[in-house]
């Protein structure tokens, strides 16, 4: 008799062999990366390949009077110099953006931002192309530039988009000014106004979430190879959404999608920066078609920082209405969003401000109203979800700062005011004042756990003692955030890109020997997909993770998917993996029943096998079933063991967290030292605890970077002042604080395995936590807000303004 199902030790051995959900399995991807065996776009070398380099504008706003390419074309080794005039016969001089606008591929008549693409030089190698780019002579007539979105809306402001002259309606409704893009509103304005009129207490705070950049390790690039004989186009590309790129390329080129292959190999970080389609991609493709040879384009770091998609740049005014006890009665928000010269934001089509309406946060706010105006300026375009879902970071920053402002006005402790306003556990699923349906949450115990872990009362007592000591050389600040994120875009009823619903997909094929391959519509940029997707299949289909191969990024083999961004991997693609695994399991059930000559209803799934109910000795392992699937299946059943699933989620998922930071600010220098940071996250079902911890550490580190140094400022002429890594802050292990992590689990009720997503939450939640800590250090001096980033110079100026700087 086989007693394996009855022996707990045997069960444990089988469970460990599966390495399924909950196992801290080592990342499958790491060995090749740490040995330098990854394959990135710049590693692609094809016979006869040429190289492309962009000619870019030194001006932020200028008319192009003429372009002389003769000297560049005469340089030995140069094969072509493309301008907008060369693209016009192909109707490729402008391209659609993900936001419903259009963007110049190469400047057509004038430039709209510094470093805009003006011409594309193609040569035998990168050095020749760069030399030739210097020989392209462009005669510019400089025009007044505007980089302030409020000045851009003045009556006499320069007209940035002359191609939109006379158009008073855009992709998202009426335009009220020649530099206005849209006005988007949500909520109940009248009810919210009444709440403010009747409130015992109101607070208002203006805040700028400055323009930042994801700055991934690998810059953007493409290798395009057009086969004129077959009519096939293959493009290796740094893309977080290869299928969407294929669709866009098909629309632009009129080449059938069936003849287009987009391959995203290993990607050195994305963080939203590699979602959109950039002019370099298009010009490389055009050059390959025209010249009949492969063409590579790889941007420099300066080009990446100054031309590929930015994040944030939201000017926000928040208002809270509350009763005398600090219970919130209403929220009112007005935003001016700087979109740059083209509206190329990577937001769902129906939501020009993304998911900003999660700005009611973790709080039971009865009424709210939000108004967002998009504005054109002479800055580079973009607007991506830098390690967050669409505009969620701005939304969380606003509400978490406003909660602290209200607490300060009322003289309440910042933890206490949160406890008074949390959405109660029994209210889930919770319908927010701005129309979102929160799936699950339990906020108060999470914050209580954090406060106990750090001994919050002792920290407050220490702070009070330091404030009472005039000779104390530092200011001490304590920051708290209790945030709710919204991820898993998304339900096709709400979210689409260019009309394509934001579902995702998985195809699983189990081979005769019991091993399997899973192909996904997502693409990893470091999230550990090859590891975690295999773990889901292991648990849900009973196949050891070690024999499961996960493939992504090749549109010729992967099922159509919307890609990886907005923390979609686990909430959407992970659900498709689980559902495809269930289909595999149900077919396996029927095959096992056939082999054991019983009804499928009499079979019970047990880790990695099926056994007859009540008789565990009569069992067939998944490996045995896989073999039978190719030679001994029930009558009328197809051979093989395969499944495909396209998952369109019924709702988003809503991970949450409770964070606490302690900072010390040197009164003499303004230097801010993060003494302690405690992060508790809820991501629902935890697939791989080790990967989760790594993702949280990465998100916290990027949040630290944004809070304390990252910024892309401009001067009045539109020159970018943060375009190199000498100017743009990327923290190393020297600057990065020590992170303490913790968790709680409230599974998503609608996700097949209860998972919510985690990689973006630490970035979203940490930034307002840092800001709240810095402001808290000054709170006893009457300060309610200090601007980001909280670098030493800016903090020192605040100290000096208060006459306490050294």
Question: Which positions are annotated as active-site residues?
Answer: 240, 387-388, 760
186 φ, ψ (degrees, to nearest 5): -150, 145
Residue 451 CA to residue 502 CA, distance in Å, equals 38
Query: Which pair of tokens denotes residue 291?
Result: 């010249």
Residue 806 CA to residue 799 CA, distance in Å, equals 8
Q: How many helices (H) and strands (E) does the chain have?
A: 20, 34
Burial 441-453 (b: 16+ CB within 10 A, else e): bbbbebbebbbee
Positive or negative, the CA dihedral 212, 217, 218, 219 is: positive
Residue 624 CA to residue 365 CA, distance in Å, equals 56
Query: Which pair of tokens denotes residue 668?
Result: 């003499």
Residue 741 CA to residue 766 CA, distance in Å, equals 12
CA 510 → CA 455, 460, 584, 633, 642, distances in Å? 52, 58, 8, 15, 6
Question: Nearest 5°: CA angle at 713, between 712 and 714?
Answer: 125
- Give 186's strand partners: 370
Which distant-in-sequence residues (6+ apart) come within 8 Å of 333 by Cβ? 316, 317, 318, 319, 359, 368, 369, 370, 371, 398
Contact 320, 331 (CB under 8 A): yes
> Tokens 């530099």, residue?
179
Positive or negative, the CA dihedral 14, 16, 22, 28 is: negative
Residue 183, classed as helix, strand or coil, is strand
Residue 501 CA to residue 486 CA, distance in Å, equals 18
Q: How many CB atoms lie within 10 A of CB 411?
A: 7
Query: Which pair of tokens denotes residue 157?
Result: 């402001």
Choose among 346, 270, 347: nearest CA to 760.
270
Query: Which pair of tokens denotes residue 536?
Result: 């889901």
250 φ, ψ (degrees, to nearest 5): -60, -40
Query: Which pair of tokens denotes residue 493?
Result: 């009823």
Q: What is the DSSP string of 48-92?
A: T-EEEEEEE-SSSSEEEEEEE-HHHHHSTTEEEEE-HHHHGGGT-
Residue 694, classed as helix, strand or coil, is helix
Q: How many CB atoms lie within 10 A of CB 161?
A: 17
Query: Which pair of tokens denotes residue 347?
Result: 């937001």
DSSP character for 734? T
Cis peptide before 139 (omega within 30 of 0): no
Which distant-in-sequence residues (6+ apart) come within 8 Å of 41 by Cβ? 218, 221, 222, 223, 236, 237, 238, 265, 296, 298
Residue 701, classed as helix, strand or coil, is helix
Residue 458, classed as helix, strand or coil, is helix
Question: How far apart, in Å, do the first and last CA atoms of the chain sit?
Answer: 82
Residue 688, classed as helix, strand or coil, is coil
472 φ, ψ (degrees, to nearest 5): -65, 125
| Percentages (nearest 5) of helix, strand, coil residues in the chain | 30, 25, 45
Contact 214, 273 (CB under 8 A): yes
Q: How many CB atoms lie within 10 A of CB 302?
A: 15
């Amino acid at each position: 008799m086989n007693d394996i199902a009855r022996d707990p030790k045997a069960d444990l051995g089988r469970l460990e062999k599966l390495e399924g959900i909950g196992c801290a399995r080592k990342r499958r991807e790491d060995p090749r990366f740490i040995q330098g065996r990854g394959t990135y776009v710049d590693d692609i070398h094809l016979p006869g390949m040429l190289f492309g380099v962009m000619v870019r504008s030194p001006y932020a706003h200028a008319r192009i009077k003429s372009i002389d390419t003769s000297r560049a074309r005469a340089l030995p080794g140069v094969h072509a110099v493309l301008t907008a005039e060369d693209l016009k016969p192909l109707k490729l001089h402008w391209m659609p953006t993900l936001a419903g606008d259009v963007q110049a591929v190469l400047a057509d008549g004038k430039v709209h931002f510094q470093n805009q693409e003006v011409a594309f030089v193609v040569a035998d190698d990168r050095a020749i192309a760069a030399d030739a780019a210097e020989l392209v002579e462009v005669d510019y007539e400089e025009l007044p530039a505007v980089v302030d979105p409020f000045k851009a809306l003045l009556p006499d402001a320069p007209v940035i988009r002359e191609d939109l002259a006379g158009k008073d309606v855009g992709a998202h409704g009426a335009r009220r000014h020649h530099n206005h893009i849209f006005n988007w509103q949500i909520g109940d304005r009248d009810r919210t106004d009444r709440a403010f009129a009747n409130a015992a207490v109101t607070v208002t705070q203006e805040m700028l979430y400055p323009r930042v950049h994801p700055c991934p390790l690998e810059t953007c690039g493409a290798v395009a190879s057009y086969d004129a004989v077959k009519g096939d186009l293959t493009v290796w590309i740094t893309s977080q959404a290869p299928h969407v790129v294929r669709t866009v390329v098909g629309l632009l080129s009129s080449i059938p999608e069936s003849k287009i292959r987009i391959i995203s190999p290993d990607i050195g970080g994305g963080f939203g920066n590699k979602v959109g389609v950039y002019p370099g991609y298009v010009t490389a493709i055009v050059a390959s078609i025209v010249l009949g040879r492969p063409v590579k384009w790889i941007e420099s770091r300066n080009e990446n920082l100054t031309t590929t998609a930015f994040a944030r740049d939201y000017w926000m005014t928040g208002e809270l209405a509350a009763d005398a006890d600090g219970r919130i009665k209403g929220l009112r928000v007005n935003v001016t969003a700087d979109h740059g010269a083209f509206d190329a934001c990577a937001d769902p089509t129906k939501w020009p401000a993304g998911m900003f309406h999660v700005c009611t946060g973790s709080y039971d706010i009865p009424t709210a109203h939000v108004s967002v105006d998009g504005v054109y300026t002479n800055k580079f375009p973009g607007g991506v979800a830098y390690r967050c879902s669409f505009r969620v970071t701005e939304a969380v920053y606003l509400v978490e700062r406003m909660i602290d402002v209200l607490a300060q006005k009322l003289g309440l402790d910042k933890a206490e005011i949160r406890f008074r306003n949390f959405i109660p556990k029994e209210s889930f699923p919770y319908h927010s004042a701005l129309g979102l349906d929160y799936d699950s949450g339990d906020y108060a115990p999470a914050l209580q756990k954090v406060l106990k872990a750090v001994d919050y009362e002792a920290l407050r007592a220490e702070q009070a003692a330091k404030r009472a000591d005039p000779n104390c050389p530092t200011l001490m600040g304590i920051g708290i955030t209790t945030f709710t994120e919204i991820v898993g875009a998304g339900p096709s009823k709400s979210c689409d890109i260019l009309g394509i619903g934001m579902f995702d997909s998985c195809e699983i094929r189990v081979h005769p020997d019991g091993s399997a391959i899973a192909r996904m519509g997502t693409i990893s940029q470091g999230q550990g997909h090859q590891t975690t997707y295999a773990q889901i299949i292991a648990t849900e289909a009973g196949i050891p993770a070690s024999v499961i191969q996960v493939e992504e990024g090749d549109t010729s083999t992967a099922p159509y998917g919307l890609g990886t961004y907005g923390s979609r991997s686990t909430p959407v693609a992970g659900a498709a993996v689980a559902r495809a695994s269930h289909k595999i399991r149900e077919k396996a059930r029927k095959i096992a029943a056939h082999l054991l000559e019983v009804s499928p209803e009499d079979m019970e799934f047990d880790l990695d096998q099926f056994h007859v109910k009540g008789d565990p000795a009569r069992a067939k392992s998944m490996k045995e079933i896989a073999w039978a699937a190719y030679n001994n299946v029930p009558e009328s059943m197809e051979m093989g063991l395969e499944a495909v699933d396209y998952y369109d989620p019924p709702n988003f998922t809503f991970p949450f967290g409770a964070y606490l930071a302690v900072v010390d600010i040197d009164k003499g220098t303004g230097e801010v030292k993060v003494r302690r940071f405690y992060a508790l996250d809820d991501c629902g079902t935890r697939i791989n605890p080790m990967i989760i911890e790594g993702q949280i550490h990465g998100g916290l580190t990027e949040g630290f970077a944004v809070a304390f140094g990252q910024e892309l400022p401009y001067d009045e002429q539109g020159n970018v002042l943060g375009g190199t890594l000498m100017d743009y802050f990327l923290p190393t292990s020297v600057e990065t604080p020590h992170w303490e992590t913790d968790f709680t689990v409230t599974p998503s009720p609608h996700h097949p395995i209860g998972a919510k997503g985690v990689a973006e939450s630490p970035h979203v939640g940490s930034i307002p936590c840092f800001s709240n800590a810095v402001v808290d250090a000054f709170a006893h001096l009457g300060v309610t807000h200090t601007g980001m980033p909280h670098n030493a110079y800016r903090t020192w100026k605040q100290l000096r303004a208060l006459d306490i700087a050294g």
